[in-house]
Structure 1
Amino acid sequence: MSFHKYALAAVAMTVSAPAVAAVAADKETAAPIAIPAPPTGKGQIVFYRPGGMGFALGCSVNEKGQKVSSLGAGKYFIMVAEPGRHEFTVKSEAKDVLALEVEADETQYATCKIKMGIMVGRPDIRPSTEADFRKSTKLKMVDAEDMGPGEGALRPEQVTAALGTPAATVTATAGTPQ
Structure 2
Amino acid sequence: MKSHVILTLVAIGCATSAVAQDAPEIAAAGAAMSDIPEGKGKIIFFRKGGLMGAAISCAVHEKEEKLTSLPPGKFAVVYAEPGIHEYSVKSEATDTLRLEIEPGETYYSKCSISMGIMAGRPNLSPSDKSTFDAMSAKLKPVEIKTE
Using structure 1 for the length normalisation, give the TM-score: 0.62
| Amino acid across the alignment from 1:36 | S
Cα offset, 1:31, TM superposition: 8.2
The yes-or-no answer on 1:134 pairing with 2:133 is yes
The C-alpha deviation readout for 1:99-143, integer Å capped at 9, x for no partner, is 00000100110010001111110011011001000111410001x
Equivalences for residues 17-166 of structure 1 within 5 A: 32-52=30-50, 53-136=52-135, 137-142=137-142, 144=143, 147-148=144-145
Q: Quick one: percent identity of the two aligned structures? A: 51
| Amino acid across the alignment from 1:95 | T
Structure 1 or 2: more helix by fraction: 1
CA–CA distance in 1 between the matches of 2:74 and 2:39?
27
Runs of 4+ in 1 over 3 A off after TM superposition: none
Unpaired runs of at least 5, structure 1? 1-29, 152-178
Structure 1 or 2: more strand by fraction: 2
> Which one has more relative contact order, counting CA pairs under 8 Å at least 6 apart?
2
Cα offset, 1:148, TM superposition: 4.4
CA–CA distance in 2 between the matches of 1:99 and 1:113?
16
Using structure 2 for the length normalisation, give the TM-score: 0.74
| Residues paired across the two proteins, number | 118
Larger Rg: 1
Q: Does the CA contact (< 8 Å) of 2:41 and 2:102 recur in 1?
A: yes
Unpaired runs of at least 5, structure 2? 1-27
